[in-house]
Amino acid sequence: MPMGSLETRPIIAITSGEPAGIGPDIILSALSEQTFPARLVVLADVELLEDRARELGLSVTISKLEQPSDVPPHSQGQINVLPIPKAKKTTSGILEVANSPYVLETLKRAGEGCLRHEFDAIVTPPVHKGILCETGVHFSGHTEYFQAQCKSPHVVMMLATEAMKVALVTTHLPLKDISSAITEHSISLVVKALNKDLQEKFGIAQPKILVCGLNPHAGEDGHLGREEIDVIIPTLNKLRQEGLNLIGPLPADTLFTPKYLNDADCALAMYHDQGLPVLKYSGFGNAVNITLGLPIIRTSVDHGTAIDLAGTGKANNGSLKVAIQHAINMANNAKKFSK
Ligand SMILES: NC(=O)c1ccc[n+]([C@@H]2O[C@H](COP(=O)([O-])OP(=O)(O)OC[C@H]3O[C@@H](n4cnc5c(N)ncnc54)[C@H](O)[C@@H]3O)[C@@H](O)[C@H]2O)c1
Ligand SMILES: N[C@H](C(=O)O)[C@H](O)COP(=O)(O)O
């Protein structure tokens, strides 16, 4: 990937994530360990970053920006912050519901900035969904938050490592609600959005997508569930007639084996814990979470807030580095296509 001239490097907004979690730790360590070929704007409380840097013993320069366009190209150890104040001082590892509006404000500001082209992409360190919900808002994930903010009819959660891409038909749904959410409509929208972004954002001309069944053994000819026969197979057949290269539905327990994965571009799981444990087993700490189907570019880490590790220096920043680099690559590609 060409680095681009310094002034044209993309502006990437990085939110702080949950202040009591490892978001601040991994931002500070990742940005102090290497120079990224971009202009990085951290949306955060300045005191939070200063306190965490002190706690971790990291030598960084934290500078406040008046506006995002003032941000210089990133250099190792430089943290440029667009200040967003928190309500309460944070102790690493202690969640405070009073700071949840701050977390939501960082997301709102990042999304708005992207929609009005102040930022070229957003990278989100982890938030704690439970503490956000305690404010009374229902927050199930960044994926759904940015979908609502961008008014996108449908989005797809996809996590990727060098070896594997796994996308989901349903995102953060209780298990009891999944069967009724697997419909011709939902599968068609997800498969089409996935196919389009694999072509446009990943340069795969004719993506080959492996599709999981919902039930054990993909329903065992209807003896272990009928969703495959009633919904999934007819929907995939219709999509094949539109030219999509779809394999399945395959039993999920054997779909994730080299025989199938080595010859495919992406696996599509029906629900969160059908697909993500496999991906995380194979690449936890080095995967990127990408929201497809948005009018903006958004990437994230493959892990949560790891409250137990905040302020200890033990948090691995590998996934954040991958998420930042993916956002930069996607923003550079988008600029090329828009010319
Ligand atoms: N992108 C996101 O915002 C995101 C992603 C996943 C989970 N979450 C949220 O995070 C919260 C906690 O979730 P969880 O406990 O299921 O998962 P978690 O990923 O926070 O923690 C699971 C285990 O992995 C370890 N771990 C996580 N990240 C690590 C890192 N970078 N380096 C070293 N070890 C790491 C933790 O210490 C813990 O043992 C929940 O509220 C969940 O919704 C947010
Ligand atoms: N499903 C994601 C994971 O397990 O890594 C995570 O919850 C993040 O989702 P959002 O990007 O929607 O917050």
DSSP 174-218: -GGGHHHH--HHHHHHHHHHHHHHHHHTT--SS-EEEEE-SSGGG
pLDDT at 201: 84
pLDDT of 3 above 80: no
DSSP string, 1-45: -----GGGSPEEEEE---TTTTHHHHHHHHHHH---SSEEEEEE-
Tell me: the pLDDT tens digits for 294-319?
A: 999 999 999 999 999 999 999 999 99
Which ligand 1 atom is at minimum distance from the Cα of 317?
31
Query: pLDDT class for 5, splitting at 50, 70, 90?
Result: low
pLDDT at 171 over 50: yes
User: Please, what are the domains in the chain?
Assistant: 1-152+294-339 (3.40.718.10), 154-287 (3.40.718.10)
Structure confidence by residue, pLDDT tens digits, 271-282? 999 999 999 999
Name the amino acid, one letter, at 176: K
Mutation probe of ligand 1 site: the residue of 305, 307, 312 with most atoms within 8 A of C-beta: 305
The pLDDT value recorded for residue 153 is: 87
User: For residue 283, is pLDDT > 90?
Assistant: yes
Torsion sign (Cα): 173, 179, 183, 189: positive
ipTM of the complex: 0.98
Check residue 2 and give its pLDDT: 45
Query: Is 280 a known ligand-binding residue?
Result: yes
208 is known to lie in a ligand binding site: no
Q: How far is the CA of 75 from the centre of ligand 2 (A)?
A: 29
Is 81:44 a contact under the CB 8 Å cutoff? yes
Mutate-to-test residue for ligand 2 from 168, 289, 301, highest number of ligand atoms within 8 A of CB: 289
Judged against a pLDDT cut of 70, whether residue 334 lies above it is answered with yes
User: What's the pLDDT score for residue 265?
Assistant: 97
Centre of ligand 2 to C-alpha 141, Å, is: 6
Whether 272 has a binding-site annotation, put simply, is: yes
Q: Give the long-range contacts of residues 151-154, CB within 8 A, separation 24 or more.
A: 152/293, 152/294, 152/295, 153/189, 154/186, 154/189, 154/190, 154/193, 154/293
